[in-house]
Amino acid sequence: MAEPRKILIFDTTLRDGEQSPGCSMNLAEKLEVAKMLEALRVDIIEAGFPIASPGDFDAVQAVAETIENCTIAALARAVDKDIERAAEAVAKSERRRIHVFCATSEIHRKHKLKRAKDEIIKMSVESVRQATEYTDDVEFSPEDASRTEPEFLAEVVEAVIEAGATTVNIPDTVGYAMPAQFGDLIRYLYKHVSNIDDTVISVHCHNDLGLAVANSLAAIRAGAGQIECTINGLGERAGNAALEEVVMAMKTRRDFLDADTNIETAKIYPASRMVSSITGVNVQRNKAIVGENAFAHEAGVHQHGMLADRHTYEIMKPEDIGVPASRLVFGKHSGRHGFEEKIRSLGFTLTDEQLNEAYEKFIVLADKKKSVYDADIEAIIDQQVGLATEVWRLEGLQTTAGTNAIPTATVMLSKEGETITDAATGDGPVDAIYEAIRRITGMKLTLTDYSLRALTGGKDAQGEVTIEVDSDGRKFRARGLSTDIVEASAKAYLAAVNRVLTATNGGKKPPQP
Ligand code: KIV
Ligand code: ZN
């Protein structure tokens, strides 16, 4: 059988994914995700949008300095200062890409850019030329391509290839396209752009109508050579095409798609868990490939079939994507070696110091719980990574509540060696704690979501509190874990405070692509 076509995987979890509400990551978290993407063997990591803020710039620079085996891309508008900043951020990478975008659809031309067609072409060409002064790997995206007049789109694509774009990405920016139509658009470009063979055609599909993966695969059938996607499908609004879905579709239906990727699929599940744990965005239970139910067989008839031959109801094996055979880790007598192995299998790379701290936390937790599960270990690491930029630390808390008592909380926090204690009342113990934290930190965040769940089964399970807060119109999500749910609530709020304080945009709303 002939080798299938190799499709490049361009991961934009750290840019489009991070840009979605509540998904901000700090520098340490971004580096952790970048290392995971490298282990997953994605071809290109879009590390961020350097002009957006000094924090974004630093994160792209750190990823460019750390990651050796992937191309590192930085996003820029078709504007001189954006391109200079992007070039500076990726300068240390041996494999650096500048990704320039300029909207081309009539609605964007008229209402956003207020430019005529010839001006759009001029801006696009000039920006690509400018980017080629810094690297020979330049990607251009005509934003809102799927709503652009096809003849004009072909004109733009031809002009930017002529100017030096080595990849041209066709975004379905608002998730409007239908699979057959999007495939036809790619075919149209192959037919009408005379120099198209000098470039790689990429696609970047949003999921507003739930078609991001279907559209991406239709584009592959039409000849596209790169897919832009994110872990767990994170991204603006309804998200981007999910990496795990496009990759496993190609692997499972190679017979139909005649395409494959370089992805190490056994690292998909750990990558999904890590991104969920770092962003605080849970994966829906029935999510394809990585959802908790993706390989669960409930109906008796299915179970019967599975016992006879697993292929009756299973088109992929859980081990192909790295779902651990057993989620049970071990109890308090487990060794350090086994712990290290577990950390590795979950996809984390920790320094010796981080590993020591994580191990100590594991022992403390194992003392409280009979059995420690993968989710518990992930939570420990999650907090460990978060510690890298911890500003405020919870030193202690006490609450009183009851049917006839006014809920009161006393909270002790420390910052840079100084400890501050304050007390407050509230509608309930959690509200009282949040008020005390507000008083100490001076940060008035609005709580917009609060949820509590047991992380694993059993009455000794840890309670996981996930919250969302609003800080000047920007959403931040954070989690707190403890066998005591009041403490978990306090930790979640404090993690949100720290996240806001270390936010990459320094508190100002950055320009959005
Ligand atoms: O959705 C979009 O059009 C984008 C571009 C910047 C590629 O994210
Ligand atoms: Zn996008």
Tens-place pLDDT, residues 59-69: 999 999 999 99
- Are 177 and 125 contained in the same domain? yes
Ligand 1 proximal residues by C-beta, below 6 Å: 16, 101, 141, 143, 169, 171, 173, 204, 206, 513
Ligand 1 atom at minimal distance to the Cα of residue 513: 6
Ligand 1 atom at minimal distance to the Cα of residue 145: 3
Q: What is the mean pLDDT of residues 258-281?
A: 93
Q: What is the pLDDT of residue 313?
A: 76
- Are 402 and 373 contained in the same domain? no
Q: DSSP string spanning 139-195?
A: EEEEETGGGS-HHHHHHHHHHHHHHT-SEEEEEETTS---HHHHHHHHHHHHHH-TT
Tens-place pLDDT, residues 122-156: 999 999 999 999 999 999 999 999 999 999 999 99
64 Cα: distance to centroid of ligand 2 (angstroms)? 21
- Are 353 and 377 contained in the same domain? yes
173 Cα: distance to centroid of ligand 2 (angstroms)? 6
Q: What is the mean pLDDT of residues 401-415?
A: 93
What confidence tier does 331 reach under pLDDT thresholds 50, 70, 90?
low
Does residue 47 surpass a pLDDT of 90? yes
- Are 256 and 314 contained in the same domain? no
Return the residue whose CA atom lies nearest to atom 1 of ligand 1: 173
Ligand 1 atom at minimal distance to the Cα of residue 206: 1
H helices of 69-133, in order, are 80-90, 106-107, 117-132
Residue 404 vs residue 69, higher pLDDT: 69
Tens-place pLDDT, residues 155-181: 999 999 999 999 999 999 999 999 999
Question: How much of the chain exceeds pLDDT 70, in percent?
Answer: 91
Q: What is the pLDDT of residue 332?
A: 64
Mean pLDDT of the chain: 90
Q: What is the pLDDT of residue 372?
A: 79
143 Cα: distance to centroid of ligand 1 (angstroms)? 6
- Are 83 and 198 contained in the same domain? yes
- Are 72 and 57 contained in the same domain? yes
- Are 139 and 223 contained in the same domain? yes
Report the number of distinct structural domains present in the chain.
Answer: 4
Q: Could you tell me if residue 238 is inside a domain? A: yes
* Structure-token pair, residue 416: 């840079």
234 phi and psi angles, rounded to 5 deg = -60, 160
**Which CATH number is 412's domain given?**
3.30.160.270
Q: Could you tell me if residue 241 is inside a domain? A: yes
Does residue 193 surpass a pLDDT of 70? yes
Return the residue whose CA atom lies nearest to atom 4 of ligand 1: 173
- Are 126 and 194 contained in the same domain? yes
What confidence tier does 42 reach under pLDDT thresholds 50, 70, 90?
very high
Tens-place pLDDT, residues 416-439: 889 999 999 999 999 999 999 999
Q: Could you tell me if residue 66 is inside a domain? A: yes
Other beta carbons within 10 angstroms of residue 334's beta carbon come to: 15
Q: What is the pLDDT of residue 505?
A: 45
**Greatest mean pLDDT range, 275-289, 359-373, 382-396:** 275-289
Q: Could you tell me if residue 286 is inside a domain? A: no
Q: What is the pLDDT of residue 334?
A: 66
Domain edge (last residue) among 279, 307, 334: 279
Range of the domain at 302: 293-320
Return the residue whose CA atom lies nearest to atom 6 of ligand 1: 513
Q: Could you tell me if residue 512 is inside a domain? A: no
